[in-house]
Chains A and B, each alone.
Chain A
Amino acid sequence: MMDYSRLLNKNVQQIKPSGIRKFFDIAATMDDVISLGVGEPDFQTPWIIRKAGISSLERGKTKYTSNRGLSMLRQEISNYINKKTGVNYDPENEILVSVGGSEGIDAAVRAIVSPGDEVIIPQPSYVCYEPVATLAGGVPVIIETLAENDFKLTPEQLLSAITPKTKALVLPYPCNPTGAVMEREDLQKIAEVLSKTDIIVISDEIYSELTFTKEGHVSIASLPGMRERTVLVSGFSKAFSMTGWRLGYACGPREIIAQMTKIHQFAIMCAPTTSQYAAIEALKNCDDAVNGMKAEYNRRRRLMVAGFNRMGLTCREPMGAFYTFPSIKSTGLSSDEFCEKLLEEKHVAVVPGTAFGAGGEGFIRASYCYSTEHIIEALARIEEFLKTL
Protein backbone atom coordinates (compact mmCIF):
# COMPACT_ATOMS: atom_id res chain seq x y z
CA MET A 1 0.00 0.00 0.00
CA MET A 2 1.32 3.42 -0.97
CA ASP A 3 1.53 5.86 1.92
CA TYR A 4 0.71 9.01 0.01
CA SER A 5 0.88 11.33 2.99
CA ARG A 6 4.49 10.29 3.40
CA LEU A 7 5.31 10.36 -0.30
CA LEU A 8 3.65 13.50 -1.58
CA ASN A 9 5.00 17.05 -1.29
CA LYS A 10 4.67 18.12 2.35
CA ASN A 11 4.24 21.79 1.53
CA VAL A 12 1.31 21.08 -0.73
CA GLN A 13 -0.33 18.80 1.78
CA GLN A 14 -0.09 21.47 4.43
CA ILE A 15 -1.98 24.02 2.41
CA LYS A 16 -5.45 24.42 3.88
CA PRO A 17 -8.40 23.51 1.65
CA SER A 18 -11.05 26.08 0.73
CA GLY A 19 -13.04 27.47 3.65
CA ILE A 20 -16.34 27.06 1.87
CA ARG A 21 -16.31 23.36 1.12
CA LYS A 22 -18.97 22.51 3.67
CA PHE A 23 -21.29 25.20 2.32
CA PHE A 24 -21.21 23.60 -1.12
CA ASP A 25 -22.35 20.37 0.47
CA ILE A 26 -25.21 21.96 2.41
CA ALA A 27 -26.39 23.96 -0.60
CA ALA A 28 -26.35 20.86 -2.75
CA THR A 29 -29.19 19.39 -0.67
CA MET A 30 -31.47 22.37 -1.33
CA ASP A 31 -33.53 23.31 -4.39
CA ASP A 32 -34.28 26.91 -3.97
CA VAL A 33 -31.01 28.40 -2.86
CA ILE A 34 -30.78 32.08 -3.60
CA SER A 35 -27.13 32.74 -3.89
CA LEU A 36 -25.08 35.88 -3.44
CA GLY A 37 -22.01 33.73 -3.17
CA VAL A 38 -20.24 33.51 -6.49
CA GLY A 39 -17.29 35.44 -7.75
CA GLU A 40 -17.93 35.68 -11.47
CA PRO A 41 -20.11 37.88 -13.67
CA ASP A 42 -23.70 36.91 -14.46
CA PHE A 43 -23.42 38.55 -17.89
CA GLN A 44 -22.68 36.47 -20.92
CA THR A 45 -19.46 37.15 -22.76
CA PRO A 46 -20.53 39.84 -25.25
CA TRP A 47 -21.64 38.24 -28.49
CA ILE A 48 -19.00 39.87 -30.72
CA ILE A 49 -16.31 38.38 -28.52
CA ARG A 50 -17.85 34.93 -28.72
CA LYS A 51 -18.23 35.34 -32.45
CA ALA A 52 -14.56 36.21 -32.81
CA GLY A 53 -13.66 33.06 -30.89
CA ILE A 54 -16.01 30.93 -33.00
CA SER A 55 -14.72 32.49 -36.20
CA SER A 56 -11.14 31.70 -35.22
CA LEU A 57 -12.14 28.04 -34.79
CA GLU A 58 -13.89 28.04 -38.15
CA ARG A 59 -10.73 29.39 -39.72
CA GLY A 60 -8.74 26.57 -38.13
CA LYS A 61 -6.81 28.66 -35.59
CA THR A 62 -6.20 25.75 -33.26
CA LYS A 63 -2.45 25.50 -33.07
CA TYR A 64 -0.10 26.80 -30.38
CA THR A 65 0.60 30.50 -30.48
CA SER A 66 3.93 32.03 -29.59
CA ASN A 67 4.66 31.43 -25.88
CA ARG A 68 4.15 35.06 -25.01
CA GLY A 69 0.82 35.15 -26.85
CA LEU A 70 -0.30 36.37 -30.27
CA SER A 71 1.68 39.49 -31.14
CA MET A 72 -1.52 41.22 -32.25
CA LEU A 73 -3.01 40.56 -28.83
CA ARG A 74 0.08 41.84 -27.04
CA GLN A 75 -0.10 44.97 -29.15
CA GLU A 76 -3.75 45.48 -28.24
CA ILE A 77 -2.98 44.89 -24.56
CA SER A 78 -0.20 47.45 -24.75
CA ASN A 79 -2.56 49.99 -26.34
CA TYR A 80 -5.28 49.20 -23.81
CA ILE A 81 -3.05 49.48 -20.74
CA ASN A 82 -1.58 52.69 -22.07
CA LYS A 83 -5.08 54.11 -22.56
CA LYS A 84 -6.30 53.02 -19.14
CA THR A 85 -3.27 53.65 -16.95
CA GLY A 86 -0.92 55.81 -18.96
CA VAL A 87 1.85 53.24 -18.63
CA ASN A 88 3.62 52.14 -21.80
CA TYR A 89 4.63 48.47 -22.08
CA ASP A 90 6.54 47.15 -25.07
CA PRO A 91 4.44 44.35 -26.56
CA GLU A 92 7.60 42.61 -27.73
CA ASN A 93 9.10 41.82 -24.34
CA GLU A 94 7.18 43.47 -21.54
CA ILE A 95 3.87 41.66 -21.88
CA LEU A 96 2.98 38.01 -21.28
CA VAL A 97 -0.39 36.53 -22.18
CA SER A 98 -1.33 34.08 -19.45
CA VAL A 99 -3.99 31.55 -18.54
CA GLY A 100 -6.13 33.99 -16.61
CA GLY A 101 -4.90 36.53 -14.15
CA SER A 102 -4.37 33.48 -11.92
CA GLU A 103 -1.44 32.20 -13.96
CA GLY A 104 -0.08 35.74 -14.16
CA ILE A 105 0.02 35.93 -10.36
CA ASP A 106 1.54 32.47 -10.04
CA ALA A 107 4.25 33.06 -12.65
CA ALA A 108 5.09 36.43 -11.14
CA VAL A 109 5.46 34.97 -7.66
CA ARG A 110 7.56 32.07 -8.90
CA ALA A 111 9.80 34.38 -10.92
CA ILE A 112 10.31 36.81 -8.07
CA VAL A 113 10.25 34.77 -4.87
CA SER A 114 13.15 32.58 -3.78
CA PRO A 115 12.75 30.07 -0.93
CA GLY A 116 12.60 31.96 2.37
CA ASP A 117 11.63 35.30 0.80
CA GLU A 118 8.78 37.08 2.52
CA VAL A 119 5.69 38.05 0.55
CA ILE A 120 3.46 40.69 2.12
CA ILE A 121 -0.22 39.98 1.51
CA PRO A 122 -3.00 42.30 2.67
CA GLN A 123 -6.08 40.43 3.89
CA PRO A 124 -9.01 39.91 3.65
CA SER A 125 -8.22 39.20 -0.01
CA TYR A 126 -8.49 36.59 -2.69
CA VAL A 127 -7.50 33.16 -1.41
CA CYS A 128 -4.79 32.28 -3.93
CA TYR A 129 -1.99 34.60 -2.82
CA GLU A 130 -1.02 32.78 0.36
CA PRO A 131 -0.90 29.25 -1.13
CA VAL A 132 0.84 30.50 -4.29
CA ALA A 133 3.51 32.20 -2.22
CA THR A 134 3.95 29.08 -0.06
CA LEU A 135 4.20 26.80 -3.08
CA ALA A 136 7.00 29.00 -4.41
CA GLY A 137 8.86 28.51 -1.15
CA GLY A 138 7.99 31.99 0.03
CA VAL A 139 6.84 33.05 3.49
CA PRO A 140 3.48 34.85 3.48
CA VAL A 141 3.36 37.88 5.79
CA ILE A 142 -0.22 38.87 6.33
CA ILE A 143 -1.35 42.45 6.95
CA GLU A 144 -4.87 42.70 8.35
CA THR A 145 -6.52 45.65 6.64
CA LEU A 146 -9.23 47.30 8.71
CA ALA A 147 -12.80 48.36 8.13
CA GLU A 148 -12.11 51.83 9.55
CA ASN A 149 -9.54 52.30 6.80
CA ASP A 150 -12.02 51.02 4.24
CA PHE A 151 -9.78 47.93 4.03
CA LYS A 152 -7.04 49.91 2.30
CA LEU A 153 -3.40 49.09 2.92
CA THR A 154 -1.89 51.89 4.98
CA PRO A 155 1.75 52.98 4.75
CA GLU A 156 2.12 52.45 8.51
CA GLN A 157 0.96 48.85 8.25
CA LEU A 158 3.28 48.27 5.29
CA LEU A 159 6.25 49.80 7.06
CA SER A 160 5.82 47.63 10.12
CA ALA A 161 5.57 44.46 8.01
CA ILE A 162 8.74 45.04 6.03
CA THR A 163 11.80 43.07 7.10
CA PRO A 164 15.16 42.50 5.43
CA LYS A 165 13.61 39.33 3.98
CA THR A 166 10.69 41.04 2.24
CA LYS A 167 10.87 40.41 -1.50
CA ALA A 168 7.38 41.13 -2.78
CA LEU A 169 4.13 42.92 -1.96
CA VAL A 170 0.86 41.68 -3.40
CA LEU A 171 -1.44 44.63 -4.03
CA PRO A 172 -4.93 43.34 -4.90
CA TYR A 173 -7.06 46.39 -5.63
CA PRO A 174 -9.94 46.64 -6.38
CA CYS A 175 -10.20 43.87 -3.82
CA ASN A 176 -12.12 40.63 -3.58
CA PRO A 177 -13.92 40.33 -1.07
CA THR A 178 -13.90 43.83 0.41
CA GLY A 179 -14.53 45.88 -2.72
CA ALA A 180 -11.81 48.23 -1.46
CA VAL A 181 -9.98 50.48 -3.88
CA MET A 182 -6.64 52.26 -3.46
CA GLU A 183 -6.98 55.74 -4.89
CA ARG A 184 -4.12 57.87 -6.12
CA GLU A 185 -3.22 59.39 -2.73
CA ASP A 186 -3.37 55.96 -1.08
CA LEU A 187 -1.03 54.49 -3.68
CA GLN A 188 1.34 57.44 -3.47
CA LYS A 189 1.89 56.80 0.23
CA ILE A 190 2.62 53.11 -0.46
CA ALA A 191 4.94 54.03 -3.32
CA GLU A 192 6.83 56.34 -1.01
CA VAL A 193 7.47 53.54 1.48
CA LEU A 194 8.49 51.15 -1.31
CA SER A 195 10.81 53.60 -3.02
CA LYS A 196 13.29 53.15 -0.18
CA THR A 197 13.35 49.36 -0.71
CA ASP A 198 13.91 46.73 -3.37
CA ILE A 199 10.46 45.24 -2.90
CA ILE A 200 8.63 44.25 -6.06
CA VAL A 201 4.90 44.87 -6.28
CA ILE A 202 2.62 42.28 -7.82
CA SER A 203 -0.43 44.38 -8.60
CA ASP A 204 -3.53 42.27 -9.18
CA GLU A 205 -5.73 44.64 -11.19
CA ILE A 206 -8.24 42.11 -12.48
CA TYR A 207 -11.17 44.26 -11.29
CA SER A 208 -9.71 47.55 -12.52
CA GLU A 209 -12.51 48.28 -15.01
CA LEU A 210 -15.03 47.94 -12.19
CA THR A 211 -13.87 50.97 -10.26
CA PHE A 212 -16.59 53.37 -9.16
CA THR A 213 -14.51 56.27 -7.88
CA LYS A 214 -14.56 59.61 -9.64
CA GLU A 215 -11.06 59.29 -11.04
CA GLY A 216 -11.41 55.64 -11.91
CA HIS A 217 -8.73 53.03 -11.52
CA VAL A 218 -5.17 54.16 -10.91
CA SER A 219 -2.39 51.63 -11.37
CA ILE A 220 0.52 51.82 -8.97
CA ALA A 221 2.74 51.17 -11.99
CA SER A 222 1.87 54.65 -13.27
CA LEU A 223 3.33 56.43 -10.25
CA PRO A 224 6.85 57.86 -10.45
CA GLY A 225 9.50 55.28 -9.73
CA MET A 226 7.08 52.37 -9.67
CA ARG A 227 7.18 51.00 -13.22
CA GLU A 228 10.53 49.30 -12.72
CA ARG A 229 9.34 47.54 -9.57
CA THR A 230 5.77 46.53 -10.50
CA VAL A 231 4.28 43.56 -12.29
CA LEU A 232 0.80 44.58 -13.44
CA VAL A 233 -1.44 41.53 -13.66
CA SER A 234 -4.89 41.72 -15.15
CA GLY A 235 -7.18 39.79 -17.46
CA PHE A 236 -10.44 39.38 -19.22
CA SER A 237 -12.51 37.39 -16.74
CA LYS A 238 -14.30 40.10 -14.81
CA ALA A 239 -14.62 43.12 -17.10
CA PHE A 240 -15.45 41.17 -20.23
CA SER A 241 -17.27 38.26 -18.55
CA MET A 242 -14.75 35.79 -19.89
CA THR A 243 -14.07 33.73 -16.78
CA GLY A 244 -14.20 30.36 -18.55
CA TRP A 245 -12.02 31.50 -21.43
CA ARG A 246 -9.02 31.57 -19.07
CA LEU A 247 -7.17 34.56 -20.40
CA GLY A 248 -5.10 37.18 -18.66
CA TYR A 249 -1.83 39.06 -18.95
CA ALA A 250 1.11 40.35 -17.03
CA CYS A 251 3.01 43.53 -17.85
CA GLY A 252 6.29 44.52 -16.33
CA PRO A 253 9.99 45.24 -16.80
CA ARG A 254 11.45 43.00 -19.50
CA GLU A 255 13.75 41.18 -17.10
CA ILE A 256 10.86 40.05 -14.92
CA ILE A 257 8.63 39.16 -17.88
CA ALA A 258 11.50 37.16 -19.39
CA GLN A 259 11.75 34.97 -16.28
CA MET A 260 7.97 34.64 -16.07
CA THR A 261 7.90 33.62 -19.71
CA LYS A 262 10.38 30.86 -18.95
CA ILE A 263 8.09 29.41 -16.30
CA HIS A 264 5.08 29.88 -18.54
CA GLN A 265 6.64 28.25 -21.57
CA PHE A 266 7.67 25.13 -19.70
CA ALA A 267 4.54 24.71 -17.58
CA ILE A 268 1.85 26.00 -19.93
CA MET A 269 3.29 26.48 -23.48
CA CYS A 270 0.75 29.17 -24.37
CA ALA A 271 -2.64 30.49 -23.30
CA PRO A 272 -5.67 29.08 -25.18
CA THR A 273 -5.51 30.15 -28.80
CA THR A 274 -9.26 30.57 -29.25
CA SER A 275 -9.42 32.81 -26.20
CA GLN A 276 -6.57 34.94 -27.51
CA TYR A 277 -8.37 35.65 -30.79
CA ALA A 278 -11.54 36.46 -28.89
CA ALA A 279 -9.61 38.76 -26.56
CA ILE A 280 -8.29 40.85 -29.47
CA GLU A 281 -11.88 41.63 -30.37
CA ALA A 282 -12.69 42.37 -26.74
CA LEU A 283 -9.98 45.01 -26.46
CA LYS A 284 -10.72 46.60 -29.81
CA ASN A 285 -14.49 46.84 -29.81
CA CYS A 286 -16.06 46.33 -26.42
CA ASP A 287 -15.75 49.60 -24.55
CA ASP A 288 -19.51 50.16 -24.84
CA ALA A 289 -20.36 46.69 -23.63
CA VAL A 290 -18.01 47.04 -20.65
CA ASN A 291 -19.42 50.46 -19.77
CA GLY A 292 -22.94 49.05 -19.94
CA MET A 293 -22.08 46.20 -17.58
CA LYS A 294 -20.26 48.58 -15.27
CA ALA A 295 -23.30 50.90 -15.07
CA GLU A 296 -25.48 47.92 -14.21
CA TYR A 297 -23.04 46.73 -11.51
CA ASN A 298 -23.07 50.25 -10.10
CA ARG A 299 -26.86 50.29 -9.73
CA ARG A 300 -26.78 46.91 -8.03
CA ARG A 301 -23.94 48.05 -5.77
CA ARG A 302 -25.95 50.98 -4.50
CA LEU A 303 -29.04 48.81 -4.06
CA MET A 304 -27.20 46.22 -1.99
CA VAL A 305 -25.25 48.66 0.19
CA ALA A 306 -28.41 50.63 0.99
CA GLY A 307 -30.31 47.42 1.66
CA PHE A 308 -27.75 46.06 4.14
CA ASN A 309 -27.38 49.33 5.99
CA ARG A 310 -31.12 49.70 6.27
CA MET A 311 -31.49 46.30 7.92
CA GLY A 312 -28.77 47.04 10.44
CA LEU A 313 -25.78 45.27 8.86
CA THR A 314 -23.23 48.06 8.58
CA CYS A 315 -21.90 48.05 5.07
CA ARG A 316 -19.22 50.50 4.02
CA GLU A 317 -19.45 51.57 0.41
CA PRO A 318 -17.22 49.35 -1.75
CA MET A 319 -15.71 51.35 -4.59
CA GLY A 320 -14.66 48.49 -6.82
CA ALA A 321 -15.13 44.87 -7.94
CA PHE A 322 -18.62 43.40 -7.45
CA TYR A 323 -18.72 42.52 -3.78
CA THR A 324 -20.13 44.04 -0.62
CA PHE A 325 -18.58 43.15 2.73
CA PRO A 326 -21.16 43.97 5.40
CA SER A 327 -20.44 43.47 9.07
CA ILE A 328 -22.59 40.91 10.88
CA LYS A 329 -21.10 41.72 14.28
CA SER A 330 -24.42 43.17 15.46
CA THR A 331 -25.92 39.65 15.37
CA GLY A 332 -23.39 38.23 17.83
CA LEU A 333 -22.84 35.27 15.51
CA SER A 334 -19.52 34.32 13.97
CA SER A 335 -19.23 34.62 10.19
CA ASP A 336 -19.37 30.87 9.83
CA GLU A 337 -22.40 30.52 12.11
CA PHE A 338 -24.21 33.35 10.32
CA CYS A 339 -23.66 31.86 6.88
CA GLU A 340 -24.58 28.36 7.96
CA LYS A 341 -27.77 29.45 9.74
CA LEU A 342 -28.78 31.76 6.89
CA LEU A 343 -28.30 28.96 4.39
CA GLU A 344 -30.16 26.41 6.47
CA GLU A 345 -33.06 28.61 7.52
CA LYS A 346 -33.56 30.91 4.56
CA HIS A 347 -31.64 29.13 1.81
CA VAL A 348 -29.56 32.22 1.07
CA ALA A 349 -25.91 31.65 0.23
CA VAL A 350 -23.28 34.20 1.23
CA VAL A 351 -19.60 33.61 1.91
CA PRO A 352 -18.13 34.01 5.41
CA GLY A 353 -15.48 36.71 5.57
CA THR A 354 -13.11 34.24 7.22
CA ALA A 355 -12.75 32.40 3.91
CA PHE A 356 -10.55 35.33 2.89
CA GLY A 357 -8.39 35.59 6.00
CA ALA A 358 -8.75 35.73 9.76
CA GLY A 359 -9.49 39.46 9.53
CA GLY A 360 -12.73 38.58 7.75
CA GLU A 361 -14.26 37.38 11.02
CA GLY A 362 -17.46 39.30 11.68
CA PHE A 363 -18.08 39.96 7.98
CA ILE A 364 -19.79 38.26 5.08
CA ARG A 365 -19.18 38.67 1.37
CA ALA A 366 -22.29 39.23 -0.72
CA SER A 367 -21.73 39.53 -4.46
CA TYR A 368 -23.79 41.75 -6.70
CA CYS A 369 -23.12 39.88 -9.90
CA TYR A 370 -26.80 38.97 -10.00
CA SER A 371 -29.94 40.62 -11.40
CA THR A 372 -31.60 43.31 -9.34
CA GLU A 373 -34.68 41.15 -8.84
CA HIS A 374 -32.49 38.36 -7.47
CA ILE A 375 -30.70 40.79 -5.17
CA ILE A 376 -34.00 42.23 -3.92
CA GLU A 377 -35.30 38.75 -3.10
CA ALA A 378 -32.07 37.76 -1.34
CA LEU A 379 -32.00 40.94 0.74
CA ALA A 380 -35.63 40.41 1.74
CA ARG A 381 -34.84 36.88 2.96
CA ILE A 382 -31.79 38.11 4.86
CA GLU A 383 -33.93 40.74 6.54
CA GLU A 384 -36.46 38.09 7.54
CA PHE A 385 -33.61 35.98 8.90
CA LEU A 386 -32.32 38.86 11.03
CA LYS A 387 -35.75 39.25 12.60
CA THR A 388 -35.61 35.65 13.84
CA LEU A 389 -32.34 36.18 15.70
Chain B
Amino acid sequence: MKTELLKLLSRNARYSVQQLADMLGGTEDEITALIKELEREGIICGYKAVIDWDSVDGSAVSAIIEIKVVPKADLGFEEVAEKIAAYREVESVYLMSGGYDLNVVVKGKTLKDVAQFVAKELATMDSVTSTATHFVMRRYKELDVCLFDSEKDDRGSFSI
Protein backbone atom coordinates (compact mmCIF):
# COMPACT_ATOMS: atom_id res chain seq x y z
CA MET B 1 0.00 0.00 0.00
CA LYS B 2 2.94 2.35 0.68
CA THR B 3 4.02 2.53 -2.97
CA GLU B 4 0.45 2.89 -4.21
CA LEU B 5 -0.17 5.68 -1.71
CA LEU B 6 2.99 7.49 -2.83
CA LYS B 7 1.96 7.15 -6.47
CA LEU B 8 -1.47 8.61 -5.72
CA LEU B 9 -0.09 11.53 -3.70
CA SER B 10 2.47 12.19 -6.38
CA ARG B 11 -0.36 12.34 -8.90
CA ASN B 12 -2.54 14.61 -6.80
CA ALA B 13 -1.43 15.71 -3.36
CA ARG B 14 -4.89 17.02 -2.57
CA TYR B 15 -6.72 13.72 -2.43
CA SER B 16 -8.47 13.67 0.93
CA VAL B 17 -7.68 10.94 3.40
CA GLN B 18 -11.16 9.57 2.78
CA GLN B 19 -10.57 9.40 -0.98
CA LEU B 20 -7.18 7.75 -0.48
CA ALA B 21 -8.70 5.23 1.93
CA ASP B 22 -11.48 4.46 -0.58
CA MET B 23 -9.06 4.00 -3.48
CA LEU B 24 -6.56 1.90 -1.57
CA GLY B 25 -9.10 -0.18 0.32
CA GLY B 26 -7.81 0.87 3.74
CA THR B 27 -9.23 2.79 6.68
CA GLU B 28 -8.79 6.54 7.13
CA ASP B 29 -6.75 5.94 10.30
CA GLU B 30 -4.39 3.61 8.43
CA ILE B 31 -3.87 6.18 5.69
CA THR B 32 -3.33 9.05 8.12
CA ALA B 33 -0.78 7.03 10.02
CA LEU B 34 1.01 5.93 6.86
CA ILE B 35 1.27 9.49 5.56
CA LYS B 36 2.69 10.69 8.87
CA GLU B 37 5.24 7.90 8.79
CA LEU B 38 6.31 8.70 5.24
CA GLU B 39 6.64 12.38 6.10
CA ARG B 40 8.66 11.57 9.19
CA GLU B 41 10.99 9.31 7.24
CA GLY B 42 11.58 12.06 4.72
CA ILE B 43 10.15 9.97 1.89
CA ILE B 44 7.43 12.54 1.37
CA CYS B 45 9.49 15.73 1.26
CA GLY B 46 6.81 18.27 0.44
CA TYR B 47 3.56 19.06 -1.36
CA LYS B 48 3.47 21.57 -4.23
CA ALA B 49 0.80 22.80 -6.57
CA VAL B 50 1.79 22.79 -10.24
CA ILE B 51 1.17 26.34 -11.52
CA ASP B 52 1.11 27.57 -15.09
CA TRP B 53 3.01 30.78 -14.27
CA ASP B 54 3.00 31.87 -17.90
CA SER B 55 -0.70 32.53 -17.53
CA VAL B 56 -0.25 34.68 -14.45
CA ASP B 57 0.40 38.44 -14.74
CA GLY B 58 3.88 39.55 -13.80
CA SER B 59 5.01 36.01 -14.41
CA ALA B 60 8.47 34.84 -13.62
CA VAL B 61 11.32 33.72 -15.85
CA SER B 62 13.19 30.52 -15.31
CA ALA B 63 16.41 29.14 -16.67
CA ILE B 64 18.30 25.87 -16.67
CA ILE B 65 21.95 26.41 -15.80
CA GLU B 66 24.53 23.81 -16.69
CA ILE B 67 27.36 24.08 -14.19
CA LYS B 68 30.82 22.53 -14.40
CA VAL B 69 32.54 21.97 -11.09
CA VAL B 70 36.05 21.05 -10.16
CA PRO B 71 35.62 19.46 -6.78
CA LYS B 72 38.22 20.12 -4.08
CA ALA B 73 39.12 18.13 -1.01
CA ASP B 74 36.96 20.21 1.32
CA LEU B 75 34.46 21.31 -1.31
CA GLY B 76 33.20 18.33 -3.23
CA PHE B 77 30.08 18.05 -5.40
CA GLU B 78 27.88 17.62 -2.28
CA GLU B 79 29.03 20.84 -0.70
CA VAL B 80 28.72 22.84 -3.90
CA ALA B 81 25.26 21.43 -4.57
CA GLU B 82 24.13 22.26 -1.04
CA LYS B 83 25.51 25.76 -1.26
CA ILE B 84 23.66 26.39 -4.49
CA ALA B 85 20.47 24.82 -3.13
CA ALA B 86 20.49 27.26 -0.24
CA TYR B 87 19.61 30.18 -2.54
CA ARG B 88 15.89 30.92 -2.67
CA GLU B 89 16.25 31.76 -6.38
CA VAL B 90 17.24 28.15 -7.02
CA GLU B 91 14.29 25.83 -7.64
CA SER B 92 16.17 22.61 -8.21
CA VAL B 93 19.66 21.15 -8.20
CA TYR B 94 20.64 17.82 -9.74
CA LEU B 95 24.00 16.08 -9.97
CA MET B 96 24.31 14.85 -13.55
CA SER B 97 26.24 12.35 -15.60
CA GLY B 98 27.64 13.42 -18.95
CA GLY B 99 28.93 16.73 -20.26
CA TYR B 100 28.43 18.81 -17.13
CA ASP B 101 28.04 18.32 -13.42
CA LEU B 102 25.15 20.22 -11.92
CA ASN B 103 21.78 21.03 -13.47
CA VAL B 104 20.31 24.02 -11.67
CA VAL B 105 16.91 25.59 -12.30
CA VAL B 106 16.79 29.26 -11.37
CA LYS B 107 13.68 31.44 -11.14
CA GLY B 108 13.65 35.23 -11.23
CA LYS B 109 11.38 38.18 -12.00
CA THR B 110 13.07 39.05 -15.27
CA LEU B 111 15.65 37.69 -17.69
CA LYS B 112 18.07 40.27 -16.35
CA ASP B 113 17.50 39.18 -12.75
CA VAL B 114 18.26 35.59 -13.59
CA ALA B 115 21.32 36.44 -15.66
CA GLN B 116 22.66 38.66 -12.90
CA PHE B 117 22.06 36.00 -10.27
CA VAL B 118 23.99 33.45 -12.31
CA ALA B 119 26.82 35.90 -12.98
CA LYS B 120 27.13 37.20 -9.42
CA GLU B 121 26.35 34.14 -7.32
CA LEU B 122 26.87 30.95 -9.32
CA ALA B 123 29.66 31.71 -11.78
CA THR B 124 31.81 33.20 -9.06
CA MET B 125 31.30 30.34 -6.61
CA ASP B 126 34.35 28.47 -5.42
CA SER B 127 34.89 25.28 -7.47
CA VAL B 128 32.55 26.39 -10.26
CA THR B 129 34.52 26.52 -13.50
CA SER B 130 31.77 27.35 -16.00
CA THR B 131 28.08 28.04 -16.35
CA ALA B 132 25.81 27.83 -19.40
CA THR B 133 22.42 29.46 -19.06
CA HIS B 134 19.40 28.31 -21.07
CA PHE B 135 16.17 30.24 -20.62
CA VAL B 136 12.90 28.35 -20.57
CA MET B 137 10.78 29.70 -23.43
CA ARG B 138 7.64 27.71 -22.78
CA ARG B 139 6.53 24.95 -20.44
CA TYR B 140 4.52 22.08 -21.85
CA LYS B 141 4.61 19.54 -19.10
CA GLU B 142 5.69 19.80 -15.48
CA LEU B 143 5.75 17.09 -12.83
CA ASP B 144 3.51 14.80 -14.91
CA VAL B 145 0.98 17.56 -15.51
CA CYS B 146 0.27 18.74 -19.04
CA LEU B 147 0.09 22.52 -19.09
CA PHE B 148 -1.54 22.66 -22.49
CA ASP B 149 -5.00 21.41 -23.35
CA SER B 150 -4.56 17.69 -23.45
CA GLU B 151 -6.69 15.62 -25.77
CA LYS B 152 -10.41 16.05 -25.64
CA ASP B 153 -12.49 13.04 -24.67
CA ASP B 154 -13.71 11.72 -28.04
CA ARG B 155 -16.15 9.31 -26.50
CA GLY B 156 -19.16 11.60 -26.14
CA SER B 157 -21.51 11.40 -23.17
CA PHE B 158 -23.26 8.10 -23.65
CA SER B 159 -22.55 4.71 -25.09
CA ILE B 160 -23.91 1.33 -24.22
Contact = CB atoms under 8 A, between A and B. Distances in A.
Given A372-B12, A373-B12, A302 B23 contact: yes
A42 B24 CA distance: 21
B159 A37 contact: yes
A306 interface: yes
Interface in A361-389: 372-373, 376
B19 A303 contact: yes
Interface string A296-313: 000110110011000000
Interface stretch (B30-38, B109-117, B149-157): B149-157
B24 A299 contact: yes
A388 B157 CA distance: 23
Given A42-B153, A303-B19, A20 B24 contact: no
A52 interface: no
Contacts of B157: 23-24, 27, 33, 35, 37-38, 349
A163 interface: no
Q: How large is the interface on A (under 10, 10 to 19, 20 to 34, 35 or more residues)?
A: 20 to 34
Secondary structure type dominating chain B contacts: loop
Q: How large is the interface on B (under 10, 10 to 19, 20 to 34, 35 or more residues)?
A: 10 to 19
A355 B23 contact: no
A126 B19 CA distance: 30
Contacts of A307: 22
Interface in A7-60: 18, 20, 23-24, 27, 33, 35, 37-40, 42
B140 interface: no
Contact of A38 (B4, B24, B25, B156): B156
B18 to A, nearest CB: 8
A356 B15 CA distance: 34
B43 interface: no
B47 interface: no
A32 B14 CA distance: 23
Nearest to A309: B22
Contact of A126 (B153, B158, B160): B160
Contacts, number: 61
Contact of A302 (B12, B22, B158): B22
Given A42-B153, A373-B12, A23 B22 contact: no
A127 interface: yes
Contacts of A27: 156-158
Interface string A149-179: 0000000000000000000000000001000
Nearest to B154: A244
Contact of B160 (A18, A33, A35, A300): A18
A38 B22 contact: no
Contacts of B155: 35, 38, 40, 42
A274 B44 CA distance: 45
A300 B23 contact: yes
A39 B133 CA distance: 50
A242 interface: no
Contacts of B8: 299
A178 B19 CA distance: 23
Interface in B1-32: 4, 8, 12, 15, 19, 22-25
Given A372-B12, A373-B12, A299 B158 contact: no
Given A38-B155, A372-B12, A373-B12, A127 B22 contact: no
A213 B24 CA distance: 15
A20 B19 contact: no
A351 interface: yes
Interface of A: 18, 20, 23-24, 27, 33, 35, 37-40, 42, 126-127, 176, 295, 299-300, 302-303, 306-307, 349, 351, 355-356, 372-373, 376
The 4 A-B pairs of least Cβ separation, nearest first, read A306-B22, A299-B23, A27-B157, A35-B157
Interface of B: 4, 8, 12, 15, 19, 22-25, 153, 155-160
